[in-house]
Amino acid sequence: MYLGLWYKDVGPGTVVWVGNRRNPVNCGALLGLDTEGDIFLQDILRTTVWIHKPNSTVPLLVLKLLDSGNLVFRDSSNLTAGEYLWQSFDHPVDTLLPRMKLGWDKKTGIDRSIRSWRTEGDPAPGDYLFRLDSGDSGQLPQLVLEKNQRIHSRWGPWDGQKFSGGYALMDNHAFRPIFHSDTDAFFFHIRSQERLEFEIFTESRRKNTVLEGVLENGVEIAVKKQEVTSCQGFTEFENEVKLIAKLQHRNLTKLLGYCINGTEKFLVYEFMANNSLDKVIFDPARRGTVTWPMRFNIIKGIAKGLVYMHHDSRLTIIHRDLKASNVLLDREMTPKISDLGLSRAWRIWSKGNAIELLDPMIEKPGDENEVLGCILVGLLCCQRRAQDRTSMIQVVSLLEENEMSRLNFVPQEP
């Protein structure tokens, strides 16, 4: 006998997870949860198979099956929802469910992969292994299917939006492939698009949570939820809504709606498939896929958005907090300014080595003067005295006409 999970309304017992695939028990087994926090199976012969043994005593233990198919174990006395001491999603078997991850987690030390059943009726580990391969030094990640430790098939590398070479892993009406990489985690998962669902993907410094969702009509949205502890009041919130609604430009995030429910406040924006600029250019797995022409277009798009805010809109808006994390990227990598450290750049510029600022992960452009010109324009915009700074109209003109090399200005230290 096994501890298993299966879809309630799909086929005759479609099993998606087995807790003791290597250690079956005899008939009459029961699932147990004791006061020490142990999760186990015990059969009529009192043979015990452990599913999980915690490192310390758990005061108020809870074992719960979520609607996602994730069996979770947590201490309800001091952990918030979403923080688990153990979860079945960390121990996948042969089925990758939506939100279940493949890959490595530094915090838990778990490297998740899925492996086939030995036979149709035996869930013991089989010959096939499906995993996320981080690649050798300098290579991009890819998905690998192995048979008896030899590569059988592969999908990849990841190109920033999908794993190339495999149409089965591209966006469709049922699911979307998601890849994430930073210093703490490295994983791939799929997100279901069949029904409305939300998950946290970033958090701003104002304690506002951003949730990702899909409406019933298929429109993807990003919902910024402002916590009760936020210092922004309702009047300020409504002012922000009215302000954003009046700003309409292809390089600014588009507001779709808002909601006030008691003390909770929400802003609904268009969804940005490629997250924020910092998540791209500082991600070792993705930065190499963003070529210089793509980066140059992002630079020009940001400049056009600022010109609109400074000069072309009916309102004159100064952002005052423009940074990579506040520039969002849509599916076509079009930059969208949202959320109405140059000292290193200045040192390198002063030494005449500005070209070193170009990301070493991308191919060197044929025209280095274009790169140097963009750096110069950036420094001119950040000079200490406001009256010395280049206007955004001048910036766009210089970028569009590629006239940066004609600049004779020497920027002052920011």
Q: What amino acid positions are annotated as catalytic residues?
A: 321
Cβ burial of 55 (10 Å; 0-12, 13-18, 19+) is exposed
Indicate the SS3 state at residue 90. Answer: helix
Q: In angstroms, rounded to a whole number, what is the distance separating the alpha carbons of residues 374 and 378?
A: 6
Indicate the SS3 state at residue 336. Answer: strand
Contacts with 102 (C-beta within 8 Å, 6 or more apart), sequence order: 92, 96, 112, 113, 114, 130, 131, 132, 143, 187, 188, 189
Closest CA to 307 of 211, 241, 397, 175: 397
Q: If you count them, how many residues does the chain have?
A: 414
Distance of CA 74 to the CA centre of its chain: 25
Distance of CA 87 to the CA centre of its chain: 21
Q: In angstroms, rounded to a whole number, what is the distance separating the alpha carbons of residues 403 and 401?
A: 5
Closest CA to 82 of 70, 98, 96, 97: 70
What region does 30 belong to: left with phi over 0, alpha with psi -120 to 50, or beta?
A: beta
Q: Are the beta carbons of 266 and 225 closer than 8 angstroms?
A: yes
Distance of CA 256 to the CA centre of its chain: 22
